[in-house]
Chains A and B, each alone.
Chain A
Amino acid sequence: MTDRREPRRLVWQRAELVDARRETASARTLVFSGPAWTGYMSGQHVDVRLTAEGGYSAERSYSIAAAERPRCFELTVQRLPDGEVSPYFVEEMAIGDEIEVRGPIGGWFAWRPETPDPILLVGGGSGVVPLMAMIRERDRAGSRVPFRLVYSARSVDEALYRDELADRSSTNDRLIVDQIYTRSAPMGYERAPSRISQMDLADLSWAAGSAPRCYVCGPNGFVESVSQLLLALGHAPDMIRTERFGPTGE
């Protein structure tokens, strides 16, 4: 945390869309190639700049979903109903199209494989993206650190990375994934759909006594609620890292 590197300006670099896959009806993963990055940590974000033909440009920040190969990174973008940039990423952008990027950025909501603490991840909606980056980084690095994800989504249809999370957790006994549905639960699912509660967190996460480092990401209301529930369960404030996500019109 006190790493005082030489100030080095992050420059804008060109990135080309080389692959894309649909995650849900309103979310898409985009694979970009091009930028040379140094010092990527899972959980970080990237700034993107899109410039229209007439010269108008828009900048946004997005969490990095994966950066497992050199000069390659993935974003998973949720289309916002009234968004300016996200509908382009989800509906319009085609293989070969280019944007500019600057990053990776952020040293707080980030996980390094050297961190010895057990990790509790709590994600709401598209807030699972940087948490997924941490899970992928853990596997890539061959880490055996215990990880636990509690992921809250409205319904099965809106949950990101379902198959991949199931695959990774079924082949790894130190990665536990639990899903919570808030609007509609799949057939045979015991828990009635509702917002995440203190009981859910008590059941599905490690006790405060095991001192996990907690990463909470989602819409502001979700993050406020979950971080207060974690405090109530005895987790120390300085073990809870938060990132608030989503539309700026809350």
Chain B
Amino acid sequence: MDVATRGFHGRETDPAHKLPPGQYEARGFPVLTAGPTPQIPLDRWQFTIATEQGKSHSWSWPQLLSLPQEEVHVDIHCVTKWSKFDTVWRGVAVDTLLRNVETSAKFVTAHSYGGYSTNLPLADLRDGKAWIVHEYDGQPLAAEHGGPARLLVPHLYFWKSAKWVTRLALATEDHPGFWEMLGYNNYGDPWREQRYTGD
């Protein structure tokens, strides 16, 4: 469509990095959450990978911290249109957690404390593309940003990076998660602007 908005000039900037279509650069770190922020005591925190065969692999907080840690520098893109460049996270690669997990699943649903869920192809969590992170910018991850730990999948819109993650359920079939059932795209590639159902 060819619609010019009379009188609008905007502020065309030269962002430090390339922006996906329809995004703008945010300086702060906005918060988007569907409900109240859950408070999760570290001594009760647990992270589990459950396979499609019904086998569970679980880590306590000290066990997660004892795994090899990676520092991750990435740009993040929220479906509400802001992008943030050069964010710095620390945590454990999902590859590391999957190392001893036998599975032929193609899909995964990430479940969070508080009831949130989001679905992804398992391939999108492998090969250095996803982490369970517990530090942001050198500090413990704040609860409102998903602490104690969240999933980080920076190549997809940020709702896929489930806050307060506690469980990855591997599955042979795809099960749409919370936002995916409420009008948002099943995959969510920002570079193809897959914001909503049918994009």
Contact = CB atoms under 8 A, between A and B. Distances in A.
A246 B105 CA distance: 40
A60 B198 CA distance: 20
A24 interface: no
A93 B4 CA distance: 12
B31 A220 contact: yes
Contact of A59 (B8, B36, B81, B196): B81
A220 B1 contact: no
Interface string B79-91: 0111000000000
B183 A97 contact: no
Contacts of A10: 196-199
A2 B181 contact: yes
Contacts of A237: 35-36, 38, 114-115
Interface residues of B, number: 44
A8 B197 contact: yes
Interface in B1-51: 1, 3-12, 22-24, 26-38
A240 interface: yes
Contact of B5 (A97, A224, A230): A97
Interface residues of A, number: 57
Contact of A50 (B5, B196, B199): B5
Contacts of A9: 196-199
B20 to A, nearest CB: 11
A3 B183 CA distance: 10
B181 to A, nearest CB: 6
Given A92-B7, A105-B196, A228-B36, A248 B1 contact: no
B144 interface: yes
Given A227-B36, A250-B28, A51 B198 contact: no
Contacts of A231: 36
B35 A242 contact: yes
A244 interface: yes
Given A7-B198, A14-B1, A58-B24, A52 B144 contact: no
22 contacts: A1-B181, A4-B181, A8-B197, A9-B196, A9-B198, A10-B199, A47-B81, A51-B3, A52-B9, A53-B4, A56-B10, A56-B12, A58-B8, A88-B10, A93-B8, A97-B5, A100-B1, A106-B183, A242-B36, A248-B27, A248-B82, A250-B29
Instruction: List 8 tightest A-B contacts by C-beta distance, closest first.
Output: A107-B182, A9-B198, A227-B36, A7-B198, A249-B28, A248-B26, A59-B22, A50-B5
